[in-house]
Amino acid sequence: MPPSSWRGRTHPRPEESPGSRPALPGWKIAYPMLSADGTALGFNGVALGRSQVYGTVAEAVCVQSPRHRCPSTWCDCGFYCFHEAEQARALACDEQYERSVLLEVLASGRYVSYELGLRYQRQTVRAVRVGRCRCGRAAAALDDVGGGIVGWRRLEAVCRECAGRRAVLSLDRLGRLAGVPVTVDEGVERTVLAPLAPLEAAGPDDPAAADLPPEAEIPLLSAEVTLLQARLDEVQRRLSKLTERG
């Protein structure tokens, strides 16, 4: 089954029955998987083949029938990718896919073409783009969060703060295991979603001063000094009274 956002437009155009052409670039989302012995890195599809893990270079296999070649027009087997990165990012907004990573791929061999992307035979992962940690900060590593399958641990992006002292897979290590470049992809929504200015700028005791320019603080501080002076005078007066009595 193609990603749900493809529904309604999943019928291949008649002139585009499986054929062959030079490799085409595409985008998809997947879950990064670390082999149980920690020596291999693979990817797990988000829609199809949840029991399968593919490597950086892989050939599609049909789990329904070993008798036909992938991708078959009467089956839904094969790899899937979108033509545009934004389509893959849009799919990752769905909460069931939001912990996935973005893959830049090359599709080759036999293919079926759709409006939004391709279903195809051979795939080469060219780059991995890791999103944000669950807390919203930029990813610094990948963490084992459970939900793996036999032989493979499922990983997801984690920031430095949330990783703390836990054992995690660094992005550098991820790149070396996968054999492809790894970058942090914070998403285009970061142009409108931005961290608030740090609170310390407002002064720790006076949140109201947060919005004031520095020169406006002078009268405030002078008033505070006057008040303190008055209190000090009062304390001094009472103290002298007591000592007089003594």
User: Closest CB to Zn ion among 64 and 236?
Assistant: 64
> At its nearest, how many Å lie between Zn ion and the CB of residue 88?
23
Closer CB to Zn ion, residue 72 or residue 123? 72
Where residue 235 falls (left for φ over 0; alpha for ψ -120 to 50; beta otherwise) is: alpha
Q: Which of 37, 74, 135, 200 binds Zn ion (CB under 5 A)?
A: 135
Residue 74 near Zn ion by CB under 5 A: no
Residue selected from 23, 24, 40, 62 as contacting Zn ion according to rule CB under 5 A: 62
Q: Please state, as a whole number, how many other Cβ atoms lie within 10 Å of the Cβ of residue 118.
A: 22
User: Residue 201 CB, nearest distance to Zn ion (Å)?
Assistant: 23
Nearer to Zn ion, 135 or 242 (CB): 135
Write out the binding residues for Zn ion, residues 142-201 only, by CB under 5 A: 159, 162
3-state secondary structure of 169: strand
**Cα dihedral across residues 84, 85, 91, 96: positive or negative:** positive
Structure tokens at 133: 């940690």
In whole angstroms, how close is the CB of 208 to Zn ion at the nearest point? Answer: 31
Residue 108 token pair: 């080759």
Q: How many CB atoms lie within 10 A of CB 220?
A: 13
| Distance in angstroms (rounded) separating the CA atoms of residues 5 and 94 | 10
Count of residues of this chain found to bind Zn ion when the rule CB under 5 A is applied: 10
137 interacts with Zn ion by CB under 5 A: yes
Residue 138 engages Zn ion in binding (rule: CB under 5 A): no
Residue closer to Zn ion (CB basis): 33 or 77:
77
Nearer to Zn ion, 70 or 87 (CB): 70
How far is it, in rounded angstroms, from Cα 118 to Cα 107?
Answer: 8
Cβ–Cβ contacts within 10 Å for residue 131, how many?
20
Which spans of this chain sit near Zn ion (rule: CB under 5 A)? Answer: 62, 64, 72, 75, 77, 133, 135, 137, 159, 162
